[in-house]
């Protein structure tokens, strides 16, 4: 059972950054390699079903805890279990969607790494520029790694203190104290933690990489067009200048359309999961900030998690805004092809007319910027990230006022 191995168009393996290399080991969110045999695929399906059942078991146990603390009106204890429950439910929705589209994801990644991903062997300067935009996301991945590490240390302290505490706030409908029951449940805690943590930083890293490399491909398209136009102007083959520019624009438009089509595939692949991620973000940030605010020394895990989630949203939003800015400038790119100089020098009136019609068509085709959206309900942009932070702050102030009212009573 081999997970999909990204390759360039020539078959050479792509060297993945460490967050994606770790994410590739996630048996829920990373597709299988096409070479995987029948029994390997059966085993993968069995693991997916087992993980789904474990998710459901954790959902039930954590929800029982939340209901118990809510009935006792213990706001602090209630919010202790809220972040892990929210991210668990989010993971359930996202994993269900991805399992239903597993084959499509593998084919989509094949297209990306073969046609869109900027090859550092051919374009080292552009690759460095694009890869530099991923540094913040890799820092976020390290922060998420710190969060799960602190959770996974809990069993060690549990053994030292001879206590039977789970990694998350849970109440099971049966007696979980016997060792033969406690140990398997604790191991499922670890399994869930690793799968969800790699999902949190891995899928966001993959989405950001898809967007920045698509953006870089548009930038290369613009650069190559400008360089080719300069050659036409320098050569100044007057009878053929208009035709040369027309052929160049047609060639550029074909690449442009291919990039636009990939953008639509990206939207189709991620629009549901982006909607789920953003829908849960405000509530998650609210609970994390409240726990970090009430007792920062004891709840440092929540503070790190809050920082990672905040930076993740802003980074993803900025990358989405950068892509929108680049695609919005494509119409200007076609207008600034020095067509007026070409017409001035050209001696072929019929080709001049065809050139003008083609430029108008190119401008019209690129009249709207491209955004990745969440079910068309919102756009992935810096503005959307800031709105989520504003909403979470509003929830946070509401919770703090509730806490003060409880303390006064």
Q: What ranges make up the beta strands (E) of 130-241? A: none
**Which structure tokens are listed for 161?**
């203190």
Q: Which of 171, 196, 188, 190 is nearest to 86 (CA)?
A: 196
Q: What are the distances in angstroms from CA 29 to CA 6, 24, 146, 255?
A: 15, 8, 21, 30
pLDDT tens per residue, range 122-160: 999 999 999 999 999 999 999 998 888 877 787 777 767
* Torsion, CA 355, CA 361, CA 363, CA 367, rounded to 10: 180
The upper half-sphere exposure of residue 298, i.e. CA atoms within 13 Å in the direction of its Cβ, equals 7
Residue 298: per-residue pLDDT: 65
Mean pLDDT for all residues in the chain:
91
For residue 56, with 0-12 CB atoms within 10 Å meaning exposed, 13-18 middle and 19 or more buried, which class applies? exposed
Crossing angle of helices 38-71/179-235, nearest 10°? 110
| Three-state secondary structure call for residue 182 | helix
For residue 138, with 0-12 CB atoms within 10 Å meaning exposed, 13-18 middle and 19 or more buried, which class applies? middle
Please list, in sequence order, all residues whose beta carbon lies within 8 angstroms of the beta carbon of residue 134, skipping any fewer than 6 positions away: 17, 205, 208, 209, 212
Cα 322 to Cα 101: distance, rounded to the nearest angstrom: 28
Residue 213: per-residue pLDDT: 97
pLDDT tens per residue, range 334-385: 999 999 999 888 888 899 999 999 999 999 999 899 999 999 999 999 999 9
Report the relative pairing of strands 378-379 and 373-374 from DSSP bridges. Answer: antiparallel
23-37: b (≥16 Cβ within 10 Å) or e: bbebbbbbbbeeebe
Residue 155: per-residue pLDDT: 72
**Contacts made by residues 99-104, CB under 8 angstroms, sequence distance 24+:** 99/28, 99/48, 101/269, 102/31, 102/32, 103/31, 104/269
Cα 404 to Cα 402: distance, rounded to the nearest angstrom: 5
Q: Which of 218, 409, 191 is nearest to 401 (CA)?
A: 409
Strand partners, 374: 378
Cα 404 to Cα 409: distance, rounded to the nearest angstrom: 9
Residues in the chain: 409
Mean pLDDT calculated for residue range 254-281: 95
| Three-state secondary structure call for residue 173 | coil
Cα 343 to Cα 379: distance, rounded to the nearest angstrom: 40
Cβ–Cβ < 8 Å for 259, 218: yes
Residue 103, pLDDT above cutoff 90: no
Cβ–Cβ < 8 Å for 323, 208: no
Residue 157: per-residue pLDDT: 73
Residue 403: per-residue pLDDT: 74
Q: Three-state SS across 148-177?
A: HHHHHHHHHHHHHCCCCCCCCCCCCCCCCC
Residue 112, pLDDT above cutoff 80: yes
Mean pLDDT calculated for residue range 169-183: 90
Residue 108: per-residue pLDDT: 96
pLDDT tens per residue, range 311-321: 999 999 999 99
Cα 352 to Cα 355: distance, rounded to the nearest angstrom: 5
Residue 297, pLDDT above cutoff 80: no
Mean pLDDT calculated for residue range 232-253: 92
Residue 147: per-residue pLDDT: 86
pLDDT tens per residue, range 179-196: 889 889 988 998 999 999
| Three-state secondary structure call for residue 379 | strand
Please list, in sequence order, all residues whose beta carbon lies within 8 angstroms of the beta carbon of residue 181, skipping any fewer than 6 positions away: 174, 175
**Which structure tokens are listed for 244?**
């040369």
What number of other Cβ atoms are within 10 A of residue 349's Cβ?
10
Quick one: pLDDT band at residue 77, thresholds 50, 70, 90?
A: confident
Residue 314: per-residue pLDDT: 95
* Helical (H) or strand (E) element with 14: none
Q: What is the DSSP annotation of 90-105?
A: HHHHHHHHHHHTHHHH
Quick one: pLDDT band at residue 409, thresholds 50, 70, 90?
A: low
Cα 306 to Cα 147: distance, rounded to the nearest angstrom: 10
Mean pLDDT calculated for residue range 194-213: 94
Phi, psi of 353 (to 5 degrees): -65, -45
Residue 406, pLDDT above cutoff 80: no
Residue 202: per-residue pLDDT: 93
Mean pLDDT calculated for residue range 52-61: 96
């Amino acid at each position: 059972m081999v997970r999909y191995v990204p390759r360039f168009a020539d078959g050479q393996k792509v060297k993945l950054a460490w967050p994606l290399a770790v994410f590739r080991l996630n048996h829920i969110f990373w597709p299988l390699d096409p070479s995987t045999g029948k029994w390997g695929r059966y085993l993968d399906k069995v693991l997916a079903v087992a993980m789904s059942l474990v998710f459901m078991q954790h959902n039930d146990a954590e929800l029982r805890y939340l209901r118990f603390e809510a009935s006792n009106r213990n706001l602090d204890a209630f919010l202790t279990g809220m972040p892990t429950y929210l991210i668990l439910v989010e993971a359930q929705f996202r994993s269900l969607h991805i399992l239903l589209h597993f084959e499509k994801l593998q084919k989509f990644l094949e297209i990306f790494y073969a046609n869109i991903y900027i090859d550092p062997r051919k374009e080292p300067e552009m690759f460095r520029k694009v890869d530099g935009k991923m540094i913040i996301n890799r820092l976020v991945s390290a922060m998420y790694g710190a969060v799960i590490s602190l959770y996974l240390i809990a069993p060690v302290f549990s053994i030292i203190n001879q206590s039977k505490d789970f990694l998350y706030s849970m109440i099971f409908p049966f007696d979980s104290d016997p060792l033969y029951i406690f140990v398997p449940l604790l191991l499922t805690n670890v399994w869930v933690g690793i799968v969800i943590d790699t999902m949190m930083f891995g899928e966001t890293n993959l989405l950001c990489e898809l967007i920045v490399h698509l953006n870089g491909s548009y930038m290369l398209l613009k650069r190559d067009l400008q360089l080719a136009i300069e050659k036409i102007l320098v050569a100044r083959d007057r009878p053929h200048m208009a035709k040369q520019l027309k052929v160049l624009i047609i060639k550029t438009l074909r690449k442009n359309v291919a990039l636009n089509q990939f953008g639509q595939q990206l939207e189709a692949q991620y629009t549901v999961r982006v909607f789920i991620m953003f829908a849960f973000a405000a509530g998650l940030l609210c609970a994390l900030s409240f726990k970090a605010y009430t007792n920062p020394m004891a709840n440092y895990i929540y503070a790190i998690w809050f920082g990672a989630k905040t930076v993740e949203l802003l980074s993803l939003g900025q990358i989405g805004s950068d892509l929108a800015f680049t695609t919005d400038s494509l119409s200007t790119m076609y207008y600034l092809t020095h067509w007026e100089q070409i017409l001035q020098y050209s001696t072929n009136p019929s080709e001049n007319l065809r050139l003008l019609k083609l430029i108008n068509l190119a401008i019209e085709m690129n009249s709207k910027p491209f955004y990745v959206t969440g079910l068309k309900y919102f756009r992935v942009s810096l503005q959307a990230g800031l709105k989520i932070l504003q909403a979470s702050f509003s929830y946070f102030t509401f919770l703090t006022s509730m806490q003060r009212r409880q303390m006064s009573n």
